[in-house]
């Protein structure tokens, strides 16, 4: 069964005024053609500054999610810092509609957890919102535990899930646990678009990996050809050689 709730992302135009996000490689690449979402799992990877988080945020807002994260029912705003890129995107959707969805971003996860606690303090909310997240306040757990609690308890399947650097709070073993949860979601007819630096998460079988670079825009790349995989493999296979290169040949860091 086709599970692509989003099939492609198109750029409809750009503002004439100057803005930082207009020059990002990810945005400029969309001028040449759409971003195709052909698999249940799509990864956006690349160095800082290439625009992967900005692009994912714009896709999320265009899809109806709160810019700071959460479900489509979240409307809080601690500080409006999101770009207007979403206004210039067209999301081409599949014939099916997701029953569930969530936009998870590491940098504002604290704000999402706080908003859940605040909603549960209001007498009008019954049952408590936190019951959908495992029953324990996300603030009363470690960062990594709360991340996994959210994915395990709140992500129910038949949904569209957009994740921005979900590995930020997770150890390598917990990243593997997250992989298991992601696979279960795929088996439950879900679609995931994930911005990440994690070579562990990127190993998900059959995933589409788009590498964003400052000189090449967006290009689809095989897992074994990503810099994340190559550098990590080289370091783990030859740590002394890599450290000698970094410390001696590269010289001191300014």
Q: What is the DSSP letter of 99?
A: S
Provide the residue-wise pLDDT of the chain in tens; the chain has 254 residues.
Answer: 456 899 999 999 998 888 888 888 888 889 889 999 999 999 999 888 888 989 999 999 999 998 877 777 655 454 555 679 999 999 999 998 999 999 987 665 545 555 555 555 556 555 665 555 555 555 555 666 777 777 887 888 999 999 999 898 889 999 999 999 999 999 999 999 999 999 999 999 999 999 998 777 799 999 999 999 999 999 999 999 989 888 886 555 55
Please report the sign of the dihedral spanned by the C-alpha atoms of residue 209, residue 215, residue 216, residue 217: positive
Specify the CATH superfamily of domain 6-221. Answer: P-loop containing nucleotide triphosphate hydrolases (3.40.50.300)
**Pairing status of strand 89-93 against strand 100-105:** unpaired
- Pull the structure tokens for residue 42: 């799509």
Q: Which of helix, strand or coil describes residue 71?
A: coil
Domain boundaries, the chain: 6-221, 224-254
Whole-prediction pTM: 0.85
- How many angstroms separate the CA atoms of 91 and 11, rounded? 9
- How many angstroms separate the CA atoms of 184 and 228, rounded? 25
- How many angstroms separate the CA atoms of 86 and 103, rounded? 14
- How many angstroms separate the CA atoms of 5 and 92, rounded? 9
């Amino acid at each position: 069964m086709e599970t692509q709730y989003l099939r492609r992302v198109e750029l409809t135009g750009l503002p004439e005024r100057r803005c930082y996000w207009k020059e990002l490689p990810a945005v400029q690449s969309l001028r040449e053609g759409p971003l195709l979402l052909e698999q249940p799992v799509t990864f956006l990877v690349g160095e800082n500054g290439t625009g992967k988080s900005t692009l994912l945020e714009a896709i999320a807002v265009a899809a109806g999610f709160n810019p700071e994260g959460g479900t489509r029912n979240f409307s809080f705003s601690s500080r409006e810092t999101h770009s207007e890129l979403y206004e210039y995107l067209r999301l081409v959707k599949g014939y099916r509609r997701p029953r569930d969805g969530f936009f998870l971003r590491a940098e504002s996860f604290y704000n999402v957890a706080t908003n859940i606690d605040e909603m549960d303090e209001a007498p009008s909310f019954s049952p408590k919102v936190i019951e959908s997240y495992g029953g324990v306040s996300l603030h009363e757990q470690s960062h990594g535990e709360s991340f996994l609690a959210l994915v395990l308890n709140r992500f129910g399947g038949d949904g569209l899930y957009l994740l921005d650097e979900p590995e930020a709070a997770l150890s390598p073993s917990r990243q593997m646990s997250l992989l298991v949860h992601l696979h279960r979601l795929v088996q439950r007819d879900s679609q995931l678009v994930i911005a990440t630096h994690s070579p562990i998460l990127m190993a998900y079988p059959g995933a589409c990996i788009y590498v964003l670079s400052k000189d090449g825009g967006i290009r689809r790349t095989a897992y074994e050809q990503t810099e994340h995989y190559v550098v990590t493999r080289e370091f783990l296979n030859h740590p002394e050689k890599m450290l000698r290169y970094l410390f001696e040949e590269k010289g001191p860091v300014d």
